Structure 1
Amino acid sequence: MPSALDGIRVIDMSRVFAAPVGAQILGDLGADVIKVERPGVGDDGRGYGTAWIKGKDGIETRQSSFFTVSNRNKRSITVNHAKPEGQDIIRALAADADVLIENFKVGDLKRYGLDYESLKAINPRLIYCSVTGFGQTGPMASLPGYDGLFQATGGMMAVTGIPDGKPGAGPLKAGPSLVDFVTGHNTALAIIAALLHRHATGEGQYIDIALLDTSVAMVSHIMQDYLISGFPPPRLGNGGNGGGPADLIEASDGIVYITAGTDEHYRRLTVLMDQPELFTDPRFDSNFKRGRTGQAELIGIINAWSRQLSVAELLAKLDEVGIPAAKYNELPEVWEEPQVVHRGLRATTPHPHAEAGSVDLIASPLAQMSASPATIRMPPPLLGEHTDKVLGALPGYDDARIAELRAAGII
């Protein structure tokens, strides 16, 4: 089946997580992504996380969880771009590339003649995307940035965590690196838009992506509440943003999340609980009261009812009357969910260098496109695994020249 980005070549000079995720999305959609790493060291992300793929035959894969989740469908080459010979390699690659992605500090690559203006002179059709913490201009542009900083700065932590007045109250960081992850998706989206623009006009362009911009946009409707009203909405813990009751409730053998935020859903819930009087109870007779002022009291009443039922019984009863609900899962349980299994979200992929012969990856959410789905064609690469093949396809880089560059520490 043809891929959406067949024939598109991407030079990925990025590291760690946000920008590599963007490059991986392009790879999932069929682009030829060449990952450029430092000789002997590689992407810093290879050392992040708490788990690594075990290699076979004494091979150390240096593929951490961070690296593995953001670098499939890429070919890895090693190039020291601080050396003139390394810069020549990048220029040779950029000459017929479609996209270059980098996330160095502002101005870093300009020192080596590898900035957008320099490479545009070689290839005017090049789409050049820089991903940084704070963007290319402004008083903080030179500062480094990581996910947690932007969850704090952009407002996510202000609206995440236990509500004030309750034990453990205070702002809370989301578990996954969500700002990085969504920034990666914004990176891919901007590049695909630039490719469409180039298709129409023949022009390449420069793209400035910032984690800060993404972090503010991610607060979404809650930030919009503030912009409209002038009042910051409170943290709601596990409460729903659209009203209530929406929260975790307890069953006899587990936990369920329920969303009954409309008047009709709430009415059905009161009937199901055999407490229809709660529908007109002045403590809970509006969405605002159920979701804010009376939220804790109402959830306590619901829990007294729900604890008498198992998770399976509770979900069956809620489903029967059309009230949205879902079982709370620990991570191992996620992969046992029938719908997760049906959707093929655990994507076991052959891995020639892994001890197990394969690696379990998380399938792309874009895998269900009917004509050009995202696919996994290659596992994450070993450091420099494809250097000889990629360089060997460039003019002037025969076996002797490649050996010379390797001996000099250029590759």
Structure 2
Amino acid sequence: MSASEPRGALTGVRVIDLTQVLAGPFCTQLLADHGAEVLKIEPLKGDETRRLGPYRADDELREISGYYQSVNRNKKSIALDLKSPEGRDILFKLVDGADALVENYRAGVMERFGMSYETLSARNPKLVYAAIRGFGDQRSGESPYVHWPAFDIVGQAMGGIMSITGPDAQTPVKVGPGVGDLIPGMLASFGIVMALMEARRSGVGQFVDVSMVDCVLATCERIINQYTYTGRIPRPEGNRHPLLCPYGVVRASDGWLTISAPTDEFWQKLVTLMDQPHHATDPRYAQNNDRLNHQDEVYGLIEAFTQTKTKAELTALFGGVIPFGPIYDVADIFEEPHFKIREMLVDVEQPGSATSVKVAGVPVKMSRTPGRVRHRAPLLGENTREVLELAGYSGAEADNLFNRNIVK
């Protein structure tokens, strides 16, 4: 970092990243975006996502897939054999100088390596240790599924989000993005920052336990209150809201858009814009609950209007007046000025390709300590020598580790 570059809010924080695939890497990338020095410890074969693609057509190197690039920017990579005593010794020495460690192994793996939270915190009492697992860690309450492997879709299924997502009550549908991973990743970064703040006050770190299914459930808070207050089990209801009307998706002549006008004020504005002001006082539609009881009629009269106009025409009519938005695909997003102005599409180098690629930008904007995309995701072991020096290995000692395939 040059003297002229603004410091991120987490500048000076060192994080050991033992995560792979999505939930953990997304968590540590959020920290890296805001200045943390993230040392990504990869197995000698690399993070699994390096091999999952997609790749640029001209990329013959195939070291950094689109998947890997998307959630590992701003990090340093060291390839390390943790099954060897020497590899574990390197990790121990790195932990001694770290503020946080994040892992998403299955329960018991770190214990089998001899690197449990208790062992590592004995070496470094200030260490914040975060674990992201499908069903959490037994330290916070042992789930009957604590040893089950879990991916995004498991978190979505058992956390409740699929039970309310789908075209009809009989058809649960997976949410498009990997929210079963991404939501836990976000909440884990939040937990880590809280624990770091407390450690700076007390001088003592702690264990941060993040369960994928718990995090998904927390974001489905509505189903809890609906069931508790009414006894009703919420089911998928398509693109309409179960409690608000209108609040959903309608068709334009050339695509789809969202309209949200559940308050009486917005409803009156909507029907006025549609040249149907008499519906504002119609007792069938006067208040939200009335509209909810006649929602097929409500959506029918809205679509009778919107289907006669293009998305551009409706944007000009509704935009800034009622809560409204056209449904964008990624090509639309690349053309939308909002995302360019907000720096949400950022160019990074793509090793092996003649041209750069874009990744999603930093969504949390900080006025004094802005986060940013500083550099692309690392090649496997690109920073191994640098990281070995942090652990006290240099020269012939480091060469020996390379020659014996302890590091790469």
Runs of 4+ aligned structure 1 residues displaced above 4 Å come to 53-56
SS at match of 1:214: helix
1:408 to 2:404 alignment: yes
Tell whether the 8 Å contact from 1:33 to 1:74 is kept in structure 2 after alignment.
Answer: yes
In 2, the alpha carbon distance for the partners of 1:391 and 1:357 equals 32
Q: In structure 2, what is the equivalent of residue 60 of structure 1?
A: 62
Superposition deviation, residue 55 in structure 1:
7.2
1:306 to 2:310 alignment: no
- Deviates further, 25-34 or 65-74: 65-74
In 2, the alpha carbon distance for the partners of 1:268 and 1:190 equals 42
In 1, the alpha carbon distance for the partners of 2:181 and 2:216 equals 9
SS at match of 1:175: coil
Q: In structure 2, what is the equivalent of residue 288 of structure 1?
A: 289
- Deviates further, 246-255 or 155-164: 246-255
Q: In structure 2, what is the equivalent of residue 381 of structure 1?
A: 378
In 2, the alpha carbon distance for the partners of 1:188 and 1:104 equals 17
The share of aligned pairs that are identical, in percent, is: 35
Return closer, same or farther for 1:66/1:296 CA change in 2, 3 Å cut-off.
Answer: farther
Q: In structure 2, what is the equivalent of residue 369 of structure 1?
A: 366
Superposition deviation, residue 311 in structure 1:
1.9
Code of the residue aligned with 1:278 in structure 2: it is H
Q: In structure 2, what is the equivalent of residue 44 of structure 1?
A: 48
In 2, the alpha carbon distance for the partners of 1:294 and 1:211 equals 38
In 2, the alpha carbon distance for the partners of 1:319 and 1:75 equals 43
In 1, the alpha carbon distance for the partners of 2:98 and 2:11 equals 13
Superposition deviation, residue 354 in structure 1:
4.1
1:193 to 2:194 alignment: yes
SS at match of 1:335: helix
Tell whether the 8 Å contact from 1:76 to 1:381 is kept in structure 2 after alignment.
Answer: yes
In 1, the alpha carbon distance for the partners of 2:355 and 2:311 equals 37
Q: In structure 2, what is the equivalent of residue 340 of structure 1?
A: 339
Return closer, same or farther for 1:141/1:214 CA change in 2, 3 Å cut-off.
Answer: same
Superposition deviation, residue 265 in structure 1:
1.4
Superposition deviation, residue 78 in structure 1:
0.8
Q: TM-score, normalised by structure 2?
A: 0.92
Residues 226-276 of structure 1, C-alpha deviation per residue, up to 9 Å, x if partnerless?
233222234221113551112222222332211111112112222332333
In 1, the alpha carbon distance for the partners of 2:312 and 2:106 equals 52
Residues 100-127 of structure 1, C-alpha deviation per residue, up to 9 Å, x if partnerless?
1111111111112111111112111111
In 1, the alpha carbon distance for the partners of 2:383 and 2:397 equals 16
In 2, the alpha carbon distance for the partners of 1:354 and 1:378 equals 16
Superposition deviation, residue 318 in structure 1:
2.0
Tell whether the 8 Å contact from 2:125 to 2:205 is kept in structure 1 after alignment.
Answer: yes
Residues 118-176 of structure 1, C-alpha deviation per residue, up to 9 Å, x if partnerless?
11121111111111100112211111111111211111011111133xxxx51111001
- Of 132, 142, 145 in structure 1, the residue corresponding to residue 147 of structure 2 is 142
Code of the residue aligned with 1:301 in structure 2: it is L
Superposition deviation, residue 375 in structure 1:
1.0
In 1, the alpha carbon distance for the partners of 2:136 and 2:300 equals 46
Residues 2-22 of structure 1, C-alpha deviation per residue, up to 9 Å, x if partnerless?
111111111100111001111
Residues 71-105 of structure 1, C-alpha deviation per residue, up to 9 Å, x if partnerless?
01110001111111111011011011111111111
Superposition deviation, residue 202 in structure 1:
0.7
Q: In structure 1, what is the equivalent of residue 237 of structure 2?
A: 236
Code of the residue aligned with 2:311 in structure 1: it is V
Q: In structure 1, what is the equivalent of residue 93 of structure 2?
A: 92
In 2, the alpha carbon distance for the partners of 1:310 and 1:378 equals 40
Q: In structure 2, what is the equivalent of residue 258 of structure 1?
A: 259
In 1, the alpha carbon distance for the partners of 2:191 and 2:174 equals 27
Residues 183-210 of structure 1, C-alpha deviation per residue, up to 9 Å, x if partnerless?
1111111110011001111111111111
Superposition deviation, residue 212 in structure 1:
1.4
Return closer, same or farther for 1:94/1:55 CA change in 2, 3 Å cut-off.
Answer: farther
In 2, the alpha carbon distance for the partners of 1:15 and 1:51 equals 17
1:329 to 2:333 alignment: no
Tell whether the 8 Å contact from 2:164 to 2:236 is kept in structure 1 after alignment.
Answer: yes
Code of the residue aligned with 2:385 in structure 1: it is D
Tell whether the 8 Å contact from 1:240 to 1:259 is kept in structure 2 after alignment.
Answer: no
C-alpha root-mean-square deviation of aligned residues, in Å? 1.9
Q: In structure 2, what is the equivalent of residue 356 of structure 1?
A: 354
Residue-pair matches, total: 398
- Deviates further, 306-315 or 337-346: 306-315
In 2, the alpha carbon distance for the partners of 1:75 and 1:308 equals 53
Return closer, same or farther for 1:358/1:274 CA change in 2, 3 Å cut-off.
Answer: closer
Superposition deviation, residue 214 in structure 1:
0.3
In 1, the alpha carbon distance for the partners of 2:209 and 2:86 equals 28
Return closer, same or farther for 1:257/1:28 CA change in 2, 3 Å cut-off.
Answer: same
Code of the residue aligned with 1:378 in structure 2: it is H
Superposition deviation, residue 289 in structure 1:
4.1
Q: Which structure 2 segments of 5+ residues have no match?
A: 1-5
Q: In structure 1, what is the equivalent of residue 124 of structure 2?
A: 123
Superposition deviation, residue 53 in structure 1:
4.7
In 2, the alpha carbon distance for the partners of 1:341 and 1:272 equals 30
Q: In structure 2, what is the equivalent of residue 8 of structure 1?
A: 13
Q: TM-score, normalised by structure 1?
A: 0.92
Tell whether the 8 Å contact from 1:99 to 1:127 is kept in structure 2 after alignment.
Answer: yes
SS at match of 1:173: coil
In 2, the alpha carbon distance for the partners of 1:37 and 1:335 equals 32
